[in-house]
Amino acid sequence: MGSLVVLIIIVLACIAAPLYESSIAHTDAFTSNVAGTITINGQTVPVLEPSTEGLGLGVNPIAPTWTAQYFLGSDNQGRDVASRILYGGRNTLIIGFASAILCCVLAGIIGIVSGFFGRGVDAVLSRGLDVLWAFPVYLLAICLSVVLISSSLTIGPVTLSSASILLPIVIIGIVYVPYVARPIRGQVMSLREREFVQAAVGAGAPDMRLLRREILPNVLPTIIVFLPLMAAINMLTEAALSFLSIGVQPPDSSWGTIVNDGVGLLYTRPWVAIAPGILLAITAVTLNLLGDGVRDALDPKARLRGAA
Amino acid sequence: MWRFAGKRALAALLVLFAISVLVFLIFFATPGIDPAARIAGRNASQETLTQVRASFGFDRPIWVQYGLMMQHLFINRDLTSFVNRGSQVIPQVMQAIPVTLSLVFGAALIWVVLALIMGVAATAARGTVIDPLILVIGVIGVSLPVFWLGEVVNLVTQSRLHDTVFAWVPQLGYVPLTDGVGPWALHLLFPWLTLAVLYAGIYARVLRSEMVASMNEDYVRMARAKGIGETRVLIRHSLRTSMISIVSLFGLDFGALIGGAALLTEVVFGLQGVGKLTYDSLQNFDLPVILACVLYASFFVVLANFIVDLLYAWLDPRVRHV
């Protein structure tokens, strides 16, 4: 329960990002503020100070002020890191959850169809899953991202701009399908042989009715158990892809892009990289604990990831 | 066993073929995207574009294109980058492979040993505080973003505490094994530990639950009935069969590692492995390099899975007949 509360707090904080930006931080999270100044303790301080080290090139962003403005300092374009983290959290959370839902729905359909109809359908779908399974997730995501993100994609009447967060959602959703589809397929295959399903078959129930009334209600708990776990994995994947600059595209932010922004400032302004990572880790921990809790509640016999 | 190995080898080859087709389709046949412009890099000249079209046969049927790609990659091994004009891609990948393998195997060794110790300890002391502790370590391990953990490790060892506690930590980078085992291991120590932290907990958790389950099996009761000591029962009888699940888990994680966590770790610690090469080529959209990295990395993953399958069958003979 505690993890649910923490998760809700994080989600609410990210939803309130515009509010924080406009009424607390009073800074714009998406435009550079290179020449800006703020007032701390009555003194006017530039947001970006010219660097005094080395060749004197480059700038030193302001350190965390721990006050309303620039709470966590600024990045090297003078943008408020704290508000960017809240906005970034929105993207990370949306992508994580949406791709988890997409993944579970796709995997549910594939797993059920493949397990229920068996034979040719199963052979084709299973081999497809095998290939995806053997293909390292990140490499597949990298391939897809490289091709899709560098230009907009047009499929029929739909045009996806390269900056759209739909792209990472779809990419991440697809690459994890085998992880969910395989156990579901196995479960459906064993359900199909159980007495209550056989009884329904004997009573002359058509396939659709079998699927809807007998199979689906029994695999739904498994799919629901996977949701928070996949959301955690997907968020970490999104952050990793964004960190590699093939996820969320600038000027939009996500927790991954902010860690990436912070790498160059790591030794001078470590909070830029540290803060989003902490939030990401906390969110993933809560989702994992939540997943374990949901599993214990819905499906005590399941043994995902070998948990005791 | 040989029959089984042959069957698995054939399956592995098929999977490799399917992966190469999938990569080919993604790179060369995505609708609405001109592959030549992609391969030539950003703002390529008309001349380069023509050169790319001829070299990859974009005016010819699609299977010829596939054949040409595979020829460049694996037969002639003369794939060249168009972004870094004329640099050969395959030698770069070949140079990077030992780095990645050093990273992955070193880290794997550390986390498996850690997991064995923690798992056995937790089984021996089940019902005590160690159990939930390992659970928590496992959950934290799977929840930490590896690139972030690496940056924090860098911050501590390279900057904040570098002058005091961690003065012995060398600069980031890779030193080949031929320069001596000591410097090699020292340079890789923190990357290894960073990766190991992620996996040790979850492996310990799996091992513990397998071992606790095996405690109720007949062969463990039999061993106890023979009067064998508890330690020996744990290690010789319970641990041995529980290793099977670790082996299969390792097969899965190896793939995720090569393409994922290891890639990120290499980037963060500046190790010039396949992952760093992929990352660098992502930065300037050097597609031939990405293509080569992805296919060579997949090759290793499929190979690793094949070896794991054999190991699995050797540990658990029942698998051979499924």
pTM for the structure as a whole: 0.84
Cβ-based contacts of A131 with chain B (< 8 Å): 15, 18-19, 22
CB-nearest partner of A146 from B135, B209, B290: B290
In this structure, what is the dihedral angle of CA atoms A125, B29, A173, A166, given to the nearest 10 degrees? -150
Tokens coding B29: 């046949």
Give pLDDT tens digits for B215-231. Answer: 888 888 888 888 888 88
Nearest to A135 among B155, B158, B298 (CB): B298
Alpha helices, H only, chain B: 2-28, 35-40, 46-56, 62-70, 89-124, 130-143, 146-154, 181-214, 218-225, 230-232, 240-256, 262-269, 274-283, 287-315
Chain B CB within 8 Å of residue A72 CB:
no
- Per-residue pLDDT at A152: 61
Q: Read off the pLDDT of each residue in A125-136 and give the average, rounded to a whole number.
A: 81
Contact B290 A130 (CB under 8 A): no
Average pLDDT of the segment spanning A181-206: 88
Res. A306: pLDDT tops 50: no
Residue A138 near residue B259, CB atoms below 8 Å? yes
First and final C-alpha spacing in chain B: 12
- Per-residue pLDDT tens for B265-291? 888 888 888 888 888 888 777 888 888
CA of A27 vs chain B CAs: smallest distance (Å) = 26
Which tops the pLDDT comparison, A122 or B322? A122
Greatest mean pLDDT among A90-104, A141-155, A180-194 lies in: A90-104
Which residue of chain B is at minimal alpha-carbon distance from A275? B148
What is the tens place of the pLDDT at every residue in B148-200?
A: 888 888 888 877 777 777 777 777 778 777 777 778 887 888 889 888 888 88
Count other C-beta atoms under 10 Å from residue B296's C-beta. 22
Nearest CA to A76 among A207, A201, A263?
A: A263
| pLDDT higher than 60, residue B322 | no
Query: pLDDT band for position A304 (50/70/90)?
Result: very low
Interface contact flag, B143 A239, Cβ < 8 Å:
no
* CA distance to partner chain A, nearest, from residue B260 (Å): 5
Of B298, B261, B105, B107, nearest to A133 by C-alpha is B298
A156 Rama sector, left if φ>0, alpha if ψ -120 to 50, beta otherwise: left
Cβ distance A259 to B302 less than 8 Å, yes or no, reads no
- Examine the pLDDT at A57 and tell me if it is beyond 80: no
What is the pLDDT confidence band of residue A151, given thresholds at 50, 70 and 90? Answer: low
* Under 8 Å between Cβ of A88 and A257: yes
Are B290 and B282 within 8 A, CB to CB? Answer: yes
A144-158, A174-188, A197-211, B264-278: lowest mean pLDDT where? A144-158
Taking the Cβ of residue B137 and every Cβ of chain A, the question of whether any pair is shorter than 8 Å is answered with no
The ipTM value here is: 0.81
Instruction: Name every residue whose Cβ is closer than 8 Å to that of residue B102 and which is 6 or more positions away in sequence.
Output: B174, B177, B184, B188
Is the CB of residue A273 less than 8 Å away from at least one CB of chain B? yes
So what's the pLDDT on residue A231?
Answer: 92
Residue among B104, B148, B242, B282 with most chain A CBs within 10 A, to mutate: B148
- Touching check for B208 and chain A: CB below 8 Å? yes
> Could you tell me if A152 and A159 are in contact, meaning their C-beta atoms sit under 8 angstroms apart?
yes
What is the percent of chain B with per-residue pLDDT over 70, rounded to a whole number?
94
Mean pLDDT for chain A overall: 79
